[in-house]
Structure 1
Amino acid sequence: MDVPRLLEAASLLVPEESATENDLTVNDVWEHFTPDEWEVALGLLEELGDGHPLPLSFWRALATAAEQMRLERSAAWCHWRCYEAQHGVIRADLTLRPARHARRQTPFSGAGILRPMWNIGPRTPTGEPDLYVAGLWVEFAPFMEPGALATVRLAPLTPSNWTHLRPGQAITMHEDRTVAGTAVVQDVQRPSAPAAP
């Protein structure tokens, strides 16, 4: 399938009736279905997904279109949203420890590459924190520096271990046994599609 057909197919999955008067709509996106503006159309479709949960097929079509246009970050974001459509969304405000107090001395990519461990509450039989792995996407920033504060999205390796999280709950990030950062859960949403087997 070619890029325009992928974008067109994705745009048809967005419910027009769910848009408010200030929201982008499919009609806004259709204005950019020319070869010179496919990247703009893709970006607008990605933004439509921020307001309302959209189906897995929407994000898969956008991911394929982004890959065909060789837009690596957009493709990674759309694949991330595929994961969220299947497993749900966890958003938190993360504050990293400053470099002088932490193992991390350099910024890390905000595009879902880092997969740190998290203390989300449960303990091991010996009473130690039981740490769970989750990928981390930094919203609206290409990277995150030591000492910074940002809203992040988490993609747990084992989503069933994270179902107890609630907004306002504090969790800690670990890259080794020490605390690398502290996060406060802002939003937990159930998946919009059943998880793939």
Structure 2
Amino acid sequence: MDVIELLESASLLVPEEAATANDLTVRDVWDHLVHDEWEIALGLLQELGDVRSLPLSFWEALAEAADRLLLKRSASWCHWRCSEFRHGVIRADLTLRSGGGVRRTTPIPGAGVLRPMWDIGHLSPSGGRAVSVAALWVEHLPVLPPGGRATVRLVPLTPSHWTHVQPGRRINMHEDRTVAGTAVVLEARPPEATVSAG
């Protein structure tokens, strides 16, 4: 499929009544596609996908279109959403530590490249702390500086480790033995495949 076919196929998966915060709908997407405004159409489809739960095939088509258009951040976001579909997602309010005793002195990249360890309450066989890995995406910011605070999205590497994590739970982020940040869980969703199979 070429780019326009990918965008058209994705737009067919969006219900007509779905609208963005600015009341833009799939009809607006089609208007941009007719005028070969592919980047704008892609952006609108991403917004529509963020306000409504859409199938994995929607995000896969957008990811491929963004890759072909060489739109790195859009492509990263669409691939990220595919990962959320497959592995689940935890949204949390994260505050990074700053100052003495913290290894990180540079901002965390926001586009899902960091995969820190998280203390989510598991113990090792010897009774010590066991951590679980989850990739991190900072919402609405390109980076999160030390001492900064933002809503983040976590995609667990091993979703079964995270089934007990519920909204309100406090979890700690680690890049080494020290606590690099503390987060309060806002939302916890299992993998979509698990939900649809159940």
TM-score, length-normalised on structure 1? Answer: 0.92
1:118-129 correspondence runs (5 A): 118-129=118-129
1:54-73 correspondence runs (5 A): 54-73=54-73
Please report the RMSD computed on the Cα atoms of aligned residues, expressed in angstroms.
Answer: 1.9
* Paired position in structure 2 for 1:174: 174
**Distance in 1 of aligned mates of 2:38 and 2:18:** 24
Deviations 1:67-96 (A, max 9, x none): 000011111110110011122221001000
Indicate if the aligned counterparts of 1:87 and 1:194 stay in contact, CA closer than 8 A. Answer: no
* Paired position in structure 1 for 2:144: 144
1:10-159 correspondence runs (5 A): 10-19=10-19, 23-34=23-34, 37-159=37-159
* Paired position in structure 2 for 1:183: 183
User: 2:167 corresponds to which letter in structure 1?
Assistant: P
Indicate if the aligned counterparts of 2:20 and 2:47 stay in contact, CA closer than 8 A. Answer: no
User: 1:86 corresponds to which letter in structure 2?
Assistant: R
* Paired position in structure 2 for 1:7: 7
Indicate if the aligned counterparts of 1:173 and 1:182 stay in contact, CA closer than 8 A. Answer: yes
**Distance in 1 of aligned mates of 2:33 and 2:194:** 31
Aligned to 1:182, the other structure's residue is in SS state strand
Give unpaired runs (5+ residues) of structure 1: none
Give unpaired runs (5+ residues) of structure 2: none
**Distance in 1 of aligned mates of 2:21 and 2:134:** 36
How many residues were matched structurally?
195
**Distance in 1 of aligned mates of 2:77 and 2:103:** 28
Quote the offset at 1:19 in angstroms: 4.6
Point out the more displaced range, 91-100 or 168-177.
91-100
Aligned to 2:133, the other structure's residue is in SS state strand
**Distance in 2 of aligned mates of 1:23 and 1:161:** 39
- Kindly report structure 1 stretches of 4+ aligned residues shifted beyond 6 Å: none
**Distance in 2 of aligned mates of 1:82 and 1:116:** 20
Indicate if the aligned counterparts of 1:53 and 1:192 stay in contact, CA closer than 8 A. Answer: no
Deviations 1:150-192 (A, max 9, x none): 1000011101110111000000000000000000000112333
Indicate if the aligned counterparts of 2:171 and 2:185 stay in contact, CA closer than 8 A. Answer: yes
CA change 1:88–1:23 in 2 (3 A) is farther
Quote the offset at 1:137 in angstroms: 0.4
**Distance in 2 of aligned mates of 1:21 and 1:140:** 15
Quote the offset at 1:49 in angstroms: 1.3
State percent identity of aligned pairs: 65
TM-score, length-normalised on structure 2? Answer: 0.92
CA change 1:161–1:102 in 2 (3 A) is same
Indicate if the aligned counterparts of 2:33 and 2:41 stay in contact, CA closer than 8 A. Answer: yes
